[in-house]
Amino acid sequence: MVPISPPTLKSGDAVAILAPARKVKHAEIEPAVRMLESWGLKVVFGENLFGEYNQFSGTDSGRASDFQSMITNPTIKAIICARGGYGTVRLLDFLNLRDLQRDPKWVVGYSDITVLHSFLNSWFKMETIHGIMPINFPVDGKPNTSTESLRKVLFGLNPEYNFPTHKLNRNGIAVGELCGGNLSVLCSIAGTDADINTQDKILFLEDVDEYLYHIDRMMMNLKRSGKLENLAALVVGGMTQMNDNTIPYGLNALEIIRDVVGEYSYPVCFRFPVGHQEENVALIMGRNVTLTVSDGGSNLTFLARE
């Protein structure tokens, strides 16, 4: 089945900002609104965007209602998630994502938004954008690598990223569909209808604020469930703000991952510029890519839409 690639944006298009997980304040996303408008886009807020229900931006049904209303609004061409945190998975039972398949539009976000990437890529064969969210836009309003990469992808450019080699890399060339996202979220939805199929795919992983033994435990979950055995390649992004116990684990996060996939022969690259960090370039999840890992550096090139 050919993946569904939503139409590229053009000046004058309307985009929605929603908060499917943690609550957010208007001031926190104002820089993003100004930048999106500078791209020629019209920004529409979800009704519950600035709501509050415990740590969420409104009740599950209210947040889902925002999402569904923007899915069915024919003037909205992209749905941009304001922030992550936790809570997106709680919306799935309230959403009719078939409507999104009928009228495709980009869904943008990362971290907790991995739930939507996984669900839409796996079940609906829809491409989505793993990219910077409004909560992370530069407060000074100046474009950076992350915002520019998102702009280019939304407006139809196929990204190509070159990045330095890493001592733990395993060289090689691979072609496959890109899947994955936040490691913790992927493990939390394992065995559910939002789970990912990694067969012959290029798996991308990133995470933040986890204990090192948690990284090992989650990687072993992926291994024991067969998700690492038949990959085309593995791309490891930011593993930031890792924690350790009083008795040190003994390896850092990248070394843990290196050891878990050590028995396989596919290419592996580390320190890809995506994740909970300043450089968080946009990825088209569900799109075929070519990955080249060599002593001279690594390259990830997205193929043209089919």
Q: Which residue has the tokens 């791309």?
A: 235
- Does one domain contain both 283 and 195? yes
Give the model's confidence band at 139: pLDDT under 50 very low, under 70 low, under 90 confident, else very high: very high
User: Which of 109, 129, 154 finishes a domain?
Assistant: 154
Residues 200-205, mean pLDDT to the nearest whole number: 98
Same domain for 295 and 217: yes
Q: Is there a domain that residue 112 lies in?
A: yes
**Is residue 4 a part of any domain in this protein?**
no
Residue 73 lies in a domain: yes
pLDDT of 3: 83
142 lies in the same domain as 177: no
Among residues 125, 154, 183, the one where a domain terminates is 154
140 and 196, same domain (yes or no): no
Q: Give yes or no: residues 172 and 293 share one domain.
A: yes
Cα-only R_g, the chain: 18
Q: Report yes or no on 1 lying in a domain.
A: no
Considering the domain architecture, whether residues 110 and 202 belong to the same structural domain is answered as no
Check residue 268 and give its pLDDT.
98
Q: Are residues 104 and 188 in the same domain?
A: no
Are 153 and 282 in contact by the 8 Å Cβ rule? The answer is: yes
Dihedral angle, C-alpha 66, 68, 74, 79, nearest 10 °: 60
**Residue where one domain finishes, among candidates 154, 172, 194:** 154
Total tally of structural domains belonging to the chain? 2
Mean pLDDT over the full length of the chain:
97
- Per the structure, the complete domain to which residue 192 belongs is given by 160-302
For residue 196, give the CATH number of its domain.
Answer: 3.50.30.60
pLDDT, one tens digit per residue, over 70-123 is 999 999 999 999 999 999 999 999 999 999 999 999 999 999 999 999 999 998
Band of the pLDDT at 62, cuts 50, 70, 90?
very high
**Within-domain flag for 5:** no
On whether both 182 and 228 belong to a single domain, the answer is: yes
Per-residue confidence (pLDDT) for residue 2, from 0 to 100: 79
Output the domain CATH number for residue 29.
3.40.50.10740
Q: Are residues 175 and 241 in the same domain?
A: yes
| DSSP codes, the chain | -PPB-PPPP-TT-EEEEE-SSB---HHHHHHHHHHHHHTTPEEEE-TTTT--BTTBSS-HHHHHHHHHHHHH-TTEEEEEE---SS-GGGGGGG--THHHHHS--EEEE-GGGHHHHHHHHHHS-B-EEE---GGGS-TT----HHHHHHHHHHTTPPPEEEE---TT-B-EEEEEEEEEEEHHHHHHTTTSTT----TT-EEEEEEES-BHHHHHHHHHHHHHTTTTTT-SEEEEEEEES-B--SS--SS-HHHHHHHHTTT--S-EE---S-SSSS----EEETSEEEEEEETTEEEEEEPPP-
Pair 213, 290 in one domain: yes
User: What share of the chain has pLDDT > 90, as a percent?
Assistant: 97
Q: How far apart are CA 104 and CA 285, in angstroms?
A: 14
Structure tokens at 72: 């069915």
Do residues 170 and 288 both lie within one domain? yes
Instruction: Tell me, yes or no, whether 118 and 168 share the same domain.
Output: no
Rounded average pLDDT over 238-266: 98
Mean pLDDT, residues 199-206:
98
Specify the pLDDT at position 70. 97
